[in-house]
Amino acid sequence: MMMNTIRGAIIAAACCAGVTQGYAQESVNFVSWGGSTQDAQKEAWATPFTGKTGIKVIQDGPTDYGKLKAMVESGNVQWDIVDVEVDFAYRAAKEGLLEPLDFSIIDKSNIDPRFVSDYGIGSFYFSFVLAYNMGKISGQPAGWSALFDTETFPGKRALYKWPSPGVIELALLADGVSESDLYPLDLDRAFKKLDTIKKDIIWWGGGAQSQQLLASGEVSMGQFWNGRMFALQEDGIPVGVSWEQNLVMSDFLVIPKGAKNKDAAMKFLAYSTSAQGQADFAELTAFSPINKESDSMISEDLMAFMPTTYADDQVSLDYKYWAEHGPDIAKSWNEWLLK
Amino acid sequence: MLLSQGSMGWKLKSSLYVITGAIAAFLALPIFFIVALSFGSSRWLVFPPPKWTLKWYEKFFENPQWIDSAMTSLQVALLTSVIATLIALPASFALVRGKFKGRDYLYSLFTLPMIVPVVIIAVAVYGVFLNLGLTGTLFAFVVSHVIVALPFAVISIINSLRLFDKSIEDAAVICGAHRLQAIFKVTFPSIKPGIFAGALFAFLVSWDEVVISVMMASPELQTLPVKMWSTLRQDLTPVIAVASTLLIFLSLIIMVMAGLARRYSNR
Amino acid sequence: MYMTLSRKKWREGTLLIPILLFLCVFFLIPLAGLLLRSLTEPSFGLQNFEQLLATSTYVQVLSNTFLVATLVTVISLVLGFPLAWCITLMPNGWGRWLLGVILLSMWTSLLARTYSWLVLLQTSGVINKTLMAIGIIDEPITMVHNLTGVIIGMSYIMIPFVVLPLQACMSAIDPMVLQAASICGAPARTVFFRIFLPLCKPGLFSGALMVFVMSLGYYVTPALLGGVENMMLPEFIVQQIQTFLNWGLASASAALLIILTIVMFYFYLKVQTDSPVSTNTGA
């Protein structure tokens, strides 16, 4: 009798093991930008997700919009979930490159409405902040106008090099345009303002480069992602951050049209945007959660480094405007840059 | 007098030596520097570093991706080298020995992949391979590398074949050898250095290829330059310096071996 | 040897099959496919080429590309010449070491070398610190993320491609020719400019062409060491594809770059009378 129960339990356990193993065959390809961000995404989302569902998450990257488009066009889509910039998410949706999300699987009731659309849902949100190397600058610069004040705060400036939301807006804000009048963007005015420091600008293309520029003193201040500055401060580098007029940007998670593991991808998105997933990710990176439930789960020490805390100083960028006018802005941008 | 040391004026000679020394230092500088950098403790590439450390070496060997990608690179480069040489060898014979018209044009065609910017080749091949579902396979890596390695193999083999006196081979045939026998027994051994150099060049081209490889890579299959490129772009950690240092030592070993092989074969 | 003409031709044809097949399937067809996109995307016509030539961006990128390629070629020639000369002068002792340094630098991973320059050249880098310590400069100079960085990094990579052909050419020169000139009373300067340099011309020429053509299509070094305002054509093409998803415009600029390169090569072949494949014409 006793033996039978034990045997039954063993058989049941074996069956369960067999079942989970069966699930383990299922997998999704997760694509992000690499580096510490993707490491955090792996730790906060992929590992617990695999533990919970048995679906294996294969990490790929870095995100490459050209590759994404080529895959969709060829019909051979190897990526299931892609971390993209928010303006690209809107643009790609318009070009028909994305699968609509299934909100019966993904719960969007607690998601900040700024960070969800029919074709994409926030990965995290962050701010462009003004940060400076305290070894190179005396005083406390605040607000974007300090960036253009090379007399008081000498040294080179680091700005984000892609024609995407951020640089144009901060130039206009520094030039005295009020937040409510930002859009439609007055490009000529922005370029004119940028012209005043053009020779002092060093353009950065990725997070690691931006950190290296500021940490080594190559630049004295600039426009940076808040999470990357947090990492520098953790490392003991004397970096000051001004949250005044911090510009809110976000990354979206999208599913390319024709993705092979669409259902598993939806389940992954449901987990990554859950309160727990978002809170875990925030703890690792100091990027803010897009799930409103997560805020209470984050330690107080960390909150000091998070955009959420500086909500009053936030300037929200108009991603839809950028999705619409991005290519035209890029054209004038390139023309100005190479002049 | 400008080509023998003895008869050169000392002024000219010493200034030439000083200039050359400076240029040689310029060439050696980054190589020595990166070795030093790999032992520095600073995460943000401050030099000279606050401390010396081996921690980046630990990180390198802890991460299986580095070793895996190095093995993939080796595999791809060896296959590329063999295939490029096997394709280039008969073609070189046809071009040098043949008397047909348009040989110069064919030569230009074979060296075209060297002239077309590699970015363009990468994008073009990527588009096709993606459609065929071949990206991320060993096949894709090898084929795309053979394209760019081929010109180096062709040029090197053709150059040595041109210098080889065909009448020696003909003599072997007259003495009763079959033509193929003569080629294998007489011609190949004497153009061996050219074939070897071609294969080596093909290997190096593949081993160091970045742009095409980035396109062909998948998470499961990437070569060392792909891993380095993405690390450079995303992390910028001194682990790259470790990888570079190990690569430099590998190059040194290959160079010494190639030198020894040459000395041995000359004997 | 006693084969009939037709059989011999047939044999040469077979020898060429593998390479022709390979290049057609994996190189020419994909390339043609890409270039065709410049005419078909987003719709059939020449609009991509019109758009390219209409904006100042493309013209600027093109002139950047040629500027960099020219500067790099000139610098590599100037720096490569004394190196090749020294190696020829001392084929055994120090010359062998020089050759070793060149080969080592050539065989070291391209990314490793570029990365090293990135750190060496930065404002807080070793070079700036040294220059300031000796007192040559007071303020650090910006040498990376701009044209200077690209030129230094690329010349560094290209020097071996000048030295190797140049050295081969120099070692083929008969020293007696130069000896004869000086015995006849020509001063060293005259011998150098009137005899030595002209004799080196084939080597200089092929080295320069190689470097120039390679520089036109270079991507990695400018992407890592350059600034945005010095964008070159390869980076422009990648940007069009990766950021703007504009394959049509990218293909059109690729087509123009290929045409420019091939035209240059054609002129090279015209100038260089020696056939590259015929036998017994010397190295």
CB pairs under 8 A between B and C: 263
Report yes or no: B214 at the C interface, CB cutoff 8 Å. Answer: no
Report yes or no: B136 at the A interface, CB cutoff 8 Å. Answer: yes
What number is the average pLDDT over the span B34-60? Answer: 87
pLDDT digit string, tens, across residues A279-324: 999 999 889 999 999 988 998 888 888 888 898 899 989 999 998 8
Residue A331 and residue C55: Cβ atoms within 8 Å? yes
Could you tell me the fold of the domain covering C53-230? MetI-like fold (1.10.3720)
Question: What's the pLDDT band for C283 if we cut at 50, 70, 90?
Answer: very low
Q: What is the mean pLDDT of chain B?
A: 88
> Given a cut of 90, is residue C89 above it in pLDDT?
no
User: What contacts 24+ positions apart, CB below 8 Å, involve C234-240?
Assistant: C234/B117, C234/B119, C236/C57, C236/C58, C236/C61, C237/B119, C237/B120, C237/B123, C238/A66, C238/B119
HSE of B44, CA atoms in CB hemisphere, 13 A: 22
pLDDT digit string, tens, across residues B130-152: 888 888 899 999 999 999 999 99
ipTM of the complex: 0.86
Q: Nearest CA to CA, how far is B248 from chain C (Å)?
A: 6
Q: Choose the mutation target among B130, B134, B218 for the interface with A, i.e. most A CBs under 10 Å.
A: B130
Q: What is the pLDDT of residue A21?
A: 44
Residue A338 and residue C229: Cβ atoms within 8 Å? yes
CB B172 within 8 A of CB B247: no
DSSP output for A45-58: IIHHHHHHH--EEE
Q: Which residues of C touch A206 (CB under 8 A)?
A: none
Return the CATH number of the domain spanning residue range A126-249+310-337: 3.40.190.10
Q: Which residues of A touch B233 (CB under 8 A)?
A: 34, 62, 205-206, 208-209
In chain A, whose CA is at the least distance from the CA of C230?
A338
**Residues contacting B161, CB < 8 A, separation 6+:** B92, B93, B96, B191, B194, C279
Q: Choose the mutation target among A30, A60, A285 for the interface with B, i.e. most B CBs under 10 Å.
A: A60
> Given a cut of 80, is residue B20 above it in pLDDT?
yes
Q: Nearest CA to CA, how far is A27 from chain C (Å)?
A: 26
Q: Nearest CA to CA, how far is B64 from chain A (Å)?
A: 14
Give the percent of chain A with pLDDT over 90.
Answer: 60
The residue that leads in pLDDT, B225 or C187, is B225
Q: Choose the mutation target among C245, C246, C253 for the interface with A, i.e. most A CBs under 10 Å.
A: C245
Angle between helices B239-266 and B224-234 (to 10 degrees): 150
The domain locations on chain A are 26-125+251-308, 126-249+310-337
Query: What does the block give as tokens for C106?
Result: 């050539």
Q: What is the pLDDT of residue B258?
A: 77
Query: What does the block give as tokens for B195?
Result: 């074939």
What number is the average pLDDT over the span A97-108? Answer: 95
Query: What does the block give as tokens for A217?
Result: 């003193």
Question: What's the pLDDT band for C182 if we cut at 50, 70, 90?
Answer: confident
- Please name the helix (run of DSSP H) or strand (run of DSSP E) that holds residue C187, with its range, or none: none
What number is the average pLDDT over the span B222-232? Answer: 90
In CATH, the architecture of B64-266 is: Orthogonal Bundle (1.10)
The domain locations on chain B are 10-56, 64-266
Q: What is the mean pLDDT of chain C?
A: 85
Q: Which residues of B touch A41 (CB under 8 A)?
A: none
Question: What's the pLDDT band for A245 if we cut at 50, 70, 90?
Answer: very high
> Given a cut of 70, is residue A240 above it in pLDDT?
yes
Identify the CATH homologous superfamily for domain A26-125+251-308.
Answer: Periplasmic binding protein-like II (3.40.190.10)
Nearest to A251 by CA among A66, A33, A47: A33
Q: What is the distance between the terminal CA atoms of chain B, rounded to a whole angstrom?
A: 32
> Given a cut of 70, is residue C282 above it in pLDDT?
no
pLDDT digit string, tens, across residues C200-235: 888 898 889 889 988 998 999 998 898 888 889 999
Residue B234 and residue A212: Cβ atoms within 8 Å? no
> Given a cut of 90, is residue C22 above it in pLDDT?
yes
Q: Nearest CA to CA, how far is A293 from chain C (Å)?
A: 34
What number is the average pLDDT over the span A90-97? Answer: 92
In chain A, whose CA is at the least distance from the CA of C57?
A335
Q: What is the pLDDT of residue B6?
A: 65
Record the pTM: 0.85
Alpha helices in chain B (DSSP H): 10-37, 55-62, 64-97, 103-115, 118-131, 138-163, 166-174, 179-182, 188-207, 211-216, 224-234, 239-266
Q: Nearest CA to CA, how far is C40 from chain A (Å)?
A: 15
> Given a cut of 50, is residue A109 above it in pLDDT?
yes
What number is the average pLDDT over the span B15-20? Answer: 90
Nearest to A212 by CA among C116, B42, C246, B13: B42
Query: What does the block give as tokens for B120?
Result: 């363009």
Phi, psi of A97 (to 5 degrees): -95, 0
Question: What's the pLDDT band for A17 if we cut at 50, 70, 90?
Answer: very low
Query: What does the block give as tokens for B184?
Result: 């294998």
CA distance B198 to C182: 40
Q: Nearest CA to CA, how far is B267 from chain C (Å)?
A: 18
Report yes or no: C100 at the B interface, CB cutoff 8 Å. Answer: yes
The domain locations on chain C are 53-230
pLDDT digit string, tens, across residues A31-87: 998 777 888 999 999 999 999 999 999 988 788 888 898 889 888 898 999 999 999
Report yes or no: B219 at the A interface, CB cutoff 8 Å. Answer: yes
Q: What is the pLDDT of residue A19?
A: 44
Largest CA distance in chain C: 79
Largest CA distance in chain B: 74
Report yes or no: A66 at the C interface, CB cutoff 8 Å. Answer: yes
Instruction: Identify the chains in contact with B, defined as 3+ C-beta pairs within 8 A.
Output: A, C
